[in-house]
Amino acid sequence: MNKLYLWGIIITALMLLFTYMSVAGSEGGLNGDIVNMLAVAGAVALVIITVFVVIKYVRQMQTDTADGKLADEQWDGIGEYLNEVPKGWAIMFLLTIVWGMWYFTVGYPVNAYSQIGEYNEDVAAHDEKFEAEYASITGDRLIEMGESVFLAECKVCHGINADGIDGKSANLNQRLEAKVVKYVVENGSNNQLLGTEMPMPDRNGLFNSNTGALITDAEIDAVAAYVANGMSGAGADVFAGTCAACHGADGKGMDFVAPNLVNFTPELVTNVLNHGKKGVMGQMPSFDRLNAKQKEAVGAYIADLSK
């Protein structure tokens, strides 16, 4: 027998024996574990294919001579033959693709255990237990829960006192600051503060019924100061002529039309937590990791802060 083939058989046998001993000697061994069996099958396939390919090409280097037509392109005087793709290589390549599709859809990842899957199941079970245990909490207890959730999730951006950390995020001790109102009036809003797609137009769609013209820069400054000052002071006429039709004469909003501009409400805060919010200070993300009761509690806490 050719020495090359003999060495190939010896190396294959040794590698397969080493693979078997490694898996069998590990905790659990094979024992019907689909992961270990797939690993062993893959190792066997790799060993056999590798040895076969090495033997084939070593033999080819020993016996073959260069022939065929050269390609027109050359690199530093080095040419390339216009050879067809080797049939065996092409077959193995296609079989690898088929095996990969099977592996990722049926063989292991989709149907297998994963730590992420177990974590998600545990979180879902915990949330269900949490919802059942705390579903009836209202009043002061709900506000206390909201404070705990706020300190765990919200203080990083809004500060431990919910003051916005010197303008880095919204000051939640008051409903709206002048710069926030001005930004929304100039740019419009579609932050789903009502939980639905009810966009507010930008300044090009805001008419002052008192003047019959689009709102001006001076009027924007006036109404922003008016709203930020708790619906008092100069700018009341601009608000009445431009904003009251949607937000109400008192600024407390209308159901399914426009949000409350005077006070935070639990519903408004919950919608911000559900959908996120873009404004003058940047983009606030949604908080999907909070369950419904936690969002309600944060809303109750923030609504209580801004009273």
Do 159 and 53 fall into the same domain?
no
Do 160 and 300 fall into the same domain?
yes
Do 286 and 150 fall into the same domain?
yes
Q: Which of 307, 304, 303 is nearest to 264 (CA)?
A: 303
Do 296 and 148 fall into the same domain?
yes
The total domain count for the chain is 2
148-155 long-range Cβ contacts below 8 angstroms, 24+ apart: 149/290, 149/294, 149/297, 149/298, 149/301, 150/298, 150/301, 150/302, 153/287, 153/290, 153/298, 154/298
Do 101 and 181 fall into the same domain?
no
Do 164 and 19 fall into the same domain?
no
257: left (phi over 0), alpha (psi -120 to 50) or beta: alpha
Chain center to CA of 203: 32
Using the structure block, give the residue that is written with the tokens 């404070």: 147
Buried/exposed code over 222-248 (b: 16+ C-beta within 10 A; e: otherwise):
bbbbbbbeebeeebeebbbbbbbeebb
Domain annotation covers residue 86: yes
Do 76 and 220 fall into the same domain?
no
Domain annotation covers residue 133: no
Do 144 and 292 fall into the same domain?
yes
Domain annotation covers residue 120: no
Domain annotation covers residue 72: yes
Can you name the residues that pair with 208 across neighbouring β-strands?
213
Domain annotation covers residue 129: no
Domain annotation covers residue 172: yes
Q: Could you list the residue range(s) of the whole structural domain that residue 22 is in?
A: 3-115
Domain annotation covers residue 196: yes
Per-residue pLDDT of the chain (307 residues; tens, 9 = 90+): 577 778 888 888 888 788 777 766 555 555 656 666 777 777 788 888 888 888 888 877 777 776 778 888 888 888 888 877 888 888 999 999 998 888 877 766 666 677 877 888 898 898 888 888 888 899 999 999 999 999 999 999 999 999 999 888 999 999 999 999 999 999 998 888 888 777 899 999 999 999 999 999 999 999 999 999 999 988 999 999 999 999 999 999 998 899 999 999 999 999 999 999 988 888 999 998 898 999 999 999 999 987 7
Domain annotation covers residue 127: no
